[in-house]
């Protein structure tokens, strides 16, 4: 199945699962079906979320410049600056 192309650093929203509606940044593309997601709060750099691409919607065309020196606060600030607030903390 073909999906909308995703790139590292893009903002996506979860369509399914207990994290439905949350905004994430694509940290890494693993293969044709799976990506690793980070939001800096619930899903940190140390514990990224592995999720199927079909359960994601592209939320913005804006991309975050990814580098090795990023920290969790950078992801939180980027999402907030783009207008995405993840209210609930689990």
The answer to whether position 16 is within a domain reads yes
Residue 89 has pLDDT above 60, yes or no: no
The answer to whether position 35 is within a domain reads yes
Of the candidates 15, 10, 19, 5, the one whose C-alpha atom is nearest the C-alpha of residue 56 is 15
Condensed to tens digits (0 to 9), the pLDDT of residues 3-58 reads 778 999 999 999 999 999 999 999 999 999 999 999 999 999 999 999 999 999 99
Of the candidates 32, 90, 34, 35, the one whose C-alpha atom is nearest the C-alpha of residue 66 is 35
Q: Is 47 exposed, middle or buried (0-12, 13-18, 19+ CB in 10 A)?
A: exposed
Total domain count, the chain? 1
Query: CB of 72 within 8 A of CB of 44?
Result: yes
* CATH code for the domain of 37: 2.30.30
């Amino acid at each position: 199945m073909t999906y909308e192309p995703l790139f590292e650093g893009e903002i996506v929203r979860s369509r399914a699962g207990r994290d439905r509606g949350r905004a994430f940044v694509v940290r890494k593309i693993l293969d044709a079906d799976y990506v690793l997601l980070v939001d800096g709060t619930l899903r940190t750099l140390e514990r990224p979320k592995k999720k199927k691409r079909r359960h994601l919607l592209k939320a913005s065309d804006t991309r975050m410049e990814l580098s090795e020196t990023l920290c969790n606060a950078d992801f939180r600030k980027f999402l907030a600056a783009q207008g995405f607030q993840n209210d609930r903390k689990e």
